[in-house]
Amino acid sequence: MAASSKTLIDLFQPAKRLKLSDPSKPLHSVSLSVSSSNSDVSSTLTAEQKSRIELNKFLAKSKRNIKICTEKVSQSKAEGSGYVKLEELLVEATWLEALPGELQKSYAKNLCKFVESEICGGNVPIYPPQHLIFNALNSTPFDRVKAVIIGQDPYHGPGQAMGLSFSVPEGVKIPSSLVNIFKELKQDLGCSIPSHGNLEKWAVQGVVLLNTVLTVRSHQANSHAKKGWEQFTDSVIRTISQKKKGVVFLLWGNSAQQKSRLIDETKHHTLKAAHPSGLSANKGFFGCRHFSRTNQLLEQVGVPPIDWQL
C-alpha cells in the first residue's frame, strides 16, 4: 500500500525542472552552446562529406517535385481526364519566379492545346510521361544553375525519355550519343564508364539538361518541333543569360550552337563542339574536353565544380 501511495503522490508532484549544468547561465546561452556544437560538427566534415550532404538534399528536392507532378497526373486520371495543363507541371518555385507568366502567353496557350490534343488523342504515345515534361527545370533550381547542356527533342523510344537531355532512366540501354559522352568524360577527367545513363546527379548539381523541344510522339523524331516549345526554351536560355552570370553553355552540334544568339557572351561562357552522335562525334566532339574546361571556368569565379562521375 505504501508503494502505491507513493506512486499517487509522485503523480501529483510538480514536474521536475531540467537542471542546467550552470544555473547562472541564461537559457539563450545554452541554446548558443548547442548551436556552436552543431557548427563544430559541421566544421569537422570533409569537403566531400559536405558535398554529398548537399547533393542528397537537392536530390530529395528534385524527387519531391517529381512526386508533386506524379500526384497531379494520378488525380487527373482518377477524375477521368488523364491530362494536366502544362502550366501546372512546372512546379519549381525558383523557375516560376524567373519566368513569370511565360506559360500564360498566347504562344504557350496554343502549345498547351496542341500537347493536350496529342496526349488525349490516344493513338500514339507521347514522351516523356507528363510528370517529367519539365524535369529539366524541376530538377535544377534557377538559383543553382551553373551550366547548360542543350539537346534537341526527347528520345522517342518507349521508356527512354525522362525530361533531361541525353539522359535515360536506369535499366534502359544507353543511347549511342550518351555512350560517346561517357567516352569523352573518361578521356577528359578519367571518369569510369557508368552502368546506367541517368544524369539526374548532374542536374541537381546545377547542370540544366535542356532539350529545345520537350515532348515527342513515339518513334517520330521532331514530331513536336515548331509547335511552340522552341519559343519556351529560348525564353529559358535568354532568362539564364539575362539574370545569371558566369554560366557555362555546352553547345554540341549546329542546332545547339544556333542558341548562342540568345546568350550574352560578355557575361557567360559558350563551349562549342560537334554533336556526340555516332555520325559526328569523331568530327570534333572527342577531344573537346568540355567537362574539365567547364570546371576550370567555374572555379575561376569561385563556383564549386561539377562532379561528373556518376
The HSE-up count of residue 268 (CA atoms within 13 Å, CB side) is 26
Per DSSP bridges, beta strands 147-151 and 126-127 are unpaired
Across residues 258-285, what is the average pLDDT?
Answer: 97
pLDDT of residue 9: 40
Place of cell 553553355: 249
pLDDT of residue 51: 84
Could you confirm whether 10 is annotated as catalytic? no
40 pLDDT band, cuts 50/70/90, is low
Q: How many CB atoms lie within 10 A of CB 274?
A: 18
Percentage above 90 pLDDT, the chain: 81
pLDDT of residue 8: 40
- Cα–Cα distance measured from residue 215 to residue 115, given in angstroms and rounded to the nearest whole number: 8
153: enclosing H helix or E strand? none
Confirm if 220 and 201 have CB atoms less than 8 A apart: no
Helix 290-300 / helix 176-189 crossing angle, nearest 10 deg: 60
Of 117 and 51, the one with more pLDDT: 117
Q: Is the pLDDT of residue 32 over 80?
A: no
Of 7-16, 91-100, 188-197, 217-226, the range with the lowest mean pLDDT is 7-16
pLDDT of residue 196: 98
pLDDT of residue 48: 84
Q: Which residue of the set 22, 153, 264, 307 is catalytic?
A: 153
Q: Is the pLDDT of residue 29 over 90?
A: no
Across residues 115-119, what is the average pLDDT?
Answer: 95
Q: Mean pLDDT for the chain?
A: 89
24 pLDDT band, cuts 50/70/90, is very low
41 pLDDT band, cuts 50/70/90, is low
Q: Is the pLDDT of residue 171 over 50?
A: yes
Per DSSP bridges, beta strands 126-127 and 216-217 are antiparallel
220-254 per-position pLDDT tens digit = 999 999 999 999 999 999 999 999 999 999 999 99
Q: Is the pLDDT of residue 3 over 70?
A: no
pLDDT of residue 16: 41
Of 165 and 121, the one with more pLDDT: 165
Q: CA dist 185 to 72, 144, 173, 192, 299, Å?
A: 37, 22, 19, 8, 18
pLDDT of residue 123: 87
SS3 202: helix
Across residues 194-215, what is the average pLDDT?
Answer: 98
255-268 per-position pLDDT tens digit = 999 999 999 999 99
Per DSSP bridges, beta strands 207-211 and 216-217 are unpaired
Dihedral (Cα; 166, 170, 172, 176), 10-degree rounding: 40
